[in-house]
Structure 1
Amino acid sequence: MALITVDRARRMLTVELTGLDKLWALKSRMEVPLTQVRGATHDPGIAHERKGAKLGGARVPGIVTAGRFRRHGGLVFWAVRKPADAVVIELAEGAPYSRLVFETADPRATVTLVEQAIA
């Protein structure tokens, strides 16, 4: 699970992975400037999308997708066990990842937080 916060003073979006997700994803925290965030959506269907080539992390279909994946020449970061709670954050060209896909406790609230931060 991921905890997503916005620091408006620093204009940064912070993603903090919790529990075993840190281990599976090989990452515990990342920060992205809000200027690189294009938008966020709650997308339970993302689990059915092709992941691409795994570059580090864990992939057990139906159980966990976590870590870095290369797809269509870009990197996508995943940390999802329950696709029903998946949030997709699209990033601008030039960001380290093209998108971030995380499981959150309240996907709708997370999407609202991100969308209000970039408005």
Structure 2
Amino acid sequence: MALISVDRERGLLTVEFQGLDKLWTLKSRLEIPLAHVRGATHDPGMAREPKGIRVAGTHFPGYITAGRFRQGGERLFWDVKNPDKAVVVALADGGTYDRLVIEVDDPRATVALIERSIERG
């Protein structure tokens, strides 16, 4: 699972991976400029979609999808074990990723935090 926070002063969305997720994703954190964040949705169905080609990370179908994937030219970063808690963060072109698919403790609160942060942008 990951913790998502927003630092308005620095203009960053930060995703911090917890516990073994650091090992599965091969990352301890991601920092995305808020200017690159287009929006966020709670989307449990996304975790059931095809993942594409794993570039780096872990994929055990039905258990965990974590790390970098490419699907149809799109660059995705995954960290999901429980699809019901999946949040999809859409990012602007030109960044490292096109979308983040991240499991969080409270998807609705996380989506609200991200949406409020980019509205004030």
**Per the shorter chain, which TM-score range?**
over 0.9
Give the structure-1-normalised TM-score: 0.98
Tell me the TM-score normalized by structure 2. 0.97
Q: What is aligned with 2:65?
A: 65
Residue deviations 1:58-79, cap 9 Å, x none? 1011100000001111210000
Secondary structure of the residue aligned to 2:56 is strand
CA RMSD of aligned residues (A): 0.6
Partner deviation per Cα, 1:35-91 (whole Å, 9 max, x = no partner)? 000000000111111110000111011100000001111210000000000000000
Q: Is the 8 A contact 2:91 2:97 kept in 1?
A: yes
1:7 is matched with 7
C-alpha distance in 2 between matches for 1:116 and 1:57: 31
Identity of aligned residues (%): 61
**Gapped runs of 5+ residues in structure 1?**
none
Which residue pairs with 1:38 in the alignment? 38
Partner of 1:115: 115
Which residue identity is paired with 1:30?
L
The gaps in structure 2 that reach 5 residues or longer are: none
Question: How many residues get paired?
Answer: 119
